[in-house]
């Protein structure tokens, strides 16, 4: 092994200025990164200003998480100041705007289409896709709500005076309630994609029952105690969420919350176990198993991660293996941010606590100490 002077095309001035191919940063004030498109990923062009205050990508920008702008090549654009103002243009519905809660129209927000409101919650109207295009009329259902959530009705005959009584229709079922959630019941028609024909009812908080062609379930003090059985497996809760046992053709899961959880995933074709996860202390300790039950990755959040392409001892050390052949190792000291793979943190803040970095290839290792003030290369020959 020997050291040699390293001549690089990049430029680094302490933790403040960094420059190399596709990346420039005046940390933490400003950074710009360009990643060319590949077969699996689109081109990325990202600019940060005092992240997370401002971030812009190729077709959108965001300020303080509540002001957002986005555009697309088909003429679509949208501007939001959450939750007060929005406006934009949609190729199908044209221009739209809204000043919440006074008046507005939005073509698609959350799961609602053509959402309209006036003096919300006094009145609003929206559309949702019908459960199946095979239904007579197909297309869309229109819902109206007055004094949300007290009065509502839909053009398929559903209606409600919440919480006194109401009824709702879906593709294969009809649902009803009285003094919600105390009394609810439903009837189901035969359908190949669900549990089949049958019925369900609940008198909360004491008892609930479901009896269908391909599903049988009971619950005592729902949802605390219950047992469900289908042709694909069964599930026991006693009580939920403290204890849960699930056995299906795709997996076996046992959970003793928050102490222990074990999930064994099975191959759908023959039921052979493929992978699995064992957790302790909810998600504080996680063991990821591969074939034959071998542990392939261990995580102790946020302190320890080992397996696959990553080895991390937070907040001191991290190393990650990359490259087409898996022969490039990137090492970093320190590693203060507790969450992995947050690109904005790496661009803007990580240089301040990264005292040492190295990139190792089969031929040599490039070292950088004290924010690039000292650099050298060691050869593997």
- Look at residue 7 in the predicted model and tell me its pLDDT: 38
- Verify that 185 and 246 share a domain, yes or no: no
- Verify that 167 and 200 share a domain, yes or no: yes
- Dump pLDDT digits (tens) for 182-203: 999 999 999 888 889 999 999 9
- Look at residue 166 in the predicted model and tell me its pLDDT: 97
- Look at residue 53 in the predicted model and tell me its pLDDT: 94
Residue 210 in domain: yes
Residue 222 in domain: yes
Helices (H) and strands (E) in the chain, counts: 2, 39
Rg of the chain over Cα atoms, rounded to whole angstroms, equals 28
Give the global pTM: 0.73
Concatenated DSSP letters of 166-231: EEEE-SSEEEEEETTTTEEEEEE---TTSS-SEEEEEETTTEEEEEETTEEEEEETTTTEEEEEET
| Neighbouring residues of 133: CB distance < 8 A, sequence distance ≥ 6 | 139
- Cβ atoms of 113 and 95 within 8 Å: the answer is no
Domain extent, residue 205, equals 157-234
- Verify that 253 and 286 share a domain, yes or no: yes
Residues of the chain with pLDDT under 50: 1-8, 133-135
Residue 149 in domain: no
Residue 185 in domain: yes
Residue 266 in domain: yes
- Look at residue 125 in the predicted model and tell me its pLDDT: 97
Alpha carbons 231 and 204: distance in angstroms, whole number:
27
- Dump pLDDT digits (tens) for 203-250: 999 999 999 999 999 999 999 999 999 998 999 999 999 999 999 988
Residue where a domain terminates, one of 278, 297, 316: 297
Residue 366 in domain: no
Number of domains making up the chain: 2
- Cβ atoms of 263 and 275 within 8 Å: the answer is no
- Look at residue 85 in the predicted model and tell me its pLDDT: 96
Name the token pair of 210.
């479901």
């Amino acid at each position: 092994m020997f050291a040699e002077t390293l001549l690089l095309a990049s430029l680094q001035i302490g933790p403040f200025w960094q420059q190399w191919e596709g990346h420039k940063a005046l940390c933490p004030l400003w950074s710009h990164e360009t990643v060319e498109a590949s077969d699996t990923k689109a081109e990325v062009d990202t600019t940060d200003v005092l992240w997370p205050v401002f971030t812009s990508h190729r077709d959108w920008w965001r300020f303080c998480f509540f002001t957002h702008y986005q555009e697309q090549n088909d003429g679509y654009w949208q501007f939001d100041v959450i939750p007060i103002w929005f406006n934009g243009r949609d190729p199908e519905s044209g221009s739209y705007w809204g000043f919440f809660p006074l008046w507005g129209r939005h073509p698609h927000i959350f799961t609602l289409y053509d959402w309209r409101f006036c003096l919300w919650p006094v009145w609003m109207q929206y559309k949702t896709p019908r459960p199946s295009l095979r239904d007579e009329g197909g297309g869309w259902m229109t819902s109206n709500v007055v004094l949300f959530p007290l009065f509502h009705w839909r053009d398929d005959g559903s209606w409600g005076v919440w919480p006194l009584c109401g009824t709702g229709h879906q593709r294969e079922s009809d649902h009803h309630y009285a003094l919600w959630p105390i009394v609810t019941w439903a009837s189901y028609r035969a359908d190949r994609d669900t549990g089949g024909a049958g019925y369900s009812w609940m008198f909360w908080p004491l008892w609930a029952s479901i009896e269908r062609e391909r599903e049988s379930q009971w619950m005592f003090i729902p949802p605390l105690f219950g047992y469900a059985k289908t042709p694909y497996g069964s599930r026991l809760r006693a009580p939920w969420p403290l204890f849960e046992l699930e056995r299906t053709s795709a997996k076996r899961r046992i959970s003793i919350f928050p102490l222990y959880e074990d999930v064994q995933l099975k191959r759908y074709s023959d039921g052979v176990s493929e992978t699995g996860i064992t957790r302790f202390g909810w998600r504080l300790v996680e063991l990821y198993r591969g074939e034959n039950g071998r542990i392939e990755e261990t995580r102790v959040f946020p302190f320890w991660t080992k397996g696959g392409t990553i080895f991390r001892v937070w907040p001191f050390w991290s190393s990650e293996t990359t490259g087409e052949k898996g022969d490039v190792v990137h090492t970093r000291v320190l590693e203060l941010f507790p969450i992995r793979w947050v690109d904005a943190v790496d661009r803007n803040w990580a240089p301040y606590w990264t005292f040492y970095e190295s990139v190792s290839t089969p031929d040599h290792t490039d070292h950088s100490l004290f924010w690039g003030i000292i650099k050298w290369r060691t050869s593997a020959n």
